[in-house]
A and B are shown apart, each in its own frame.
Chain A
Amino acid sequence: MTKSVEMQYYEIVENSNSIILRMDTKGDVTFFNRYAQSFFGYRQEEILGKNVIGTIVAPADSSGRDLKAMIDDMAMHPAEYVENKNENMLRSGERVWIAWTNKAVLDKDGRVKEIICIGNNITKLKQAEEEILKAKEAAESANKAKSSFLANMSHELRTPLNAIIGFSELMKDESVGAINEKQKEYLGYVWESGKHLLSLINDILDLSKVEAGKMELELSEFDLRELFKKSLMFVSDRAAKKSVTLLTDINENVGLVRADERKIKQVIFNLVSNSMKFTLDGGKIGIRAEKTGENEILVCVWDTGIGIEAKDASKIFSEFEQITSDYSRQYAGTGLGLPLSKKFIELHGGKMWFESEGKDKGSRFYFTLPLNRA
Chain B
Amino acid sequence: MSTLDEGVAKTEIAAKLIPIYVMGKKYEVPESLTIMKAIEYAGYKYIRGCGCRGGVCGACSTVYRKPNDYKIYTGLACQTVVEPDMYLTQIPFYPAIRATYNFYELEGRPEEIYELYPELFRCVACNNCTKVCPMDVEVMDYISALKRGDIAAAAKISFDCIQCGLCASRCMGELAQYHMAQLARRVYGAYLTPRADHLKTVVANIEAGRFDLGVKSLKAMNQEQLKQAYQAREMEPATAGEDWKPKESIGL
Q: Do A and B come from one complex?
A: no
> Residues on A close to B: CB < 8 A?
none
